[in-house]
Structure 1
Amino acid sequence: QEDWKVTPSGLEIAEARIKGSGAGMEPPEGSVLRDGWWVYKPRIAPQRRLVLAASGATGEGWTLCTVQGCRELGKAAGDTTVLKPCEG
């Protein structure tokens, strides 16, 4: 899980969480275990856009939640979703 925010610099990651660990999902140094989730702040620059691809291997898409509610994106394999701040 990841929390992102829109800033004048672009999309900035505020926090990321992983439950458990495994191949490629090891909690990074400085992570804190909170309610069964490893919580940390990735060190990446603000992004102009996020590209979400769906492999179909997980059986799920992406869940995008805002103050207006949540919706599922990219459930079908091969679907690509691009998130970027609105202009203006």
Structure 2
Amino acid sequence: MRGHGAGMEPAAGAVLRDGAWEWHPRTRHAVLRLTRSAYTADYEWCADGEPCKSLSALIASDGGVTELRACPIGDTAP
């Protein structure tokens, strides 16, 4: 997590590494729902070995909720 606001404080046990909070939850979730708006900064997508980029550079937002899901093992991105 890079930056935070009210209700988005880093979780207990989070570590600040290279300017971003890193935390590994104890439970796994099938879906991560991100509420996006034209009135706030977009989320950033960061992957190992690549520069971070705005989520809107990867997928457009309609101002609603974007759902992220893990790909099945063996699948690759198009």
TM-score (norm 2): 0.48
Query: Where is the strand percentage greater, Structure 1 or Structure 2?
Result: 1
TM-score by length of structure 1 reads 0.45
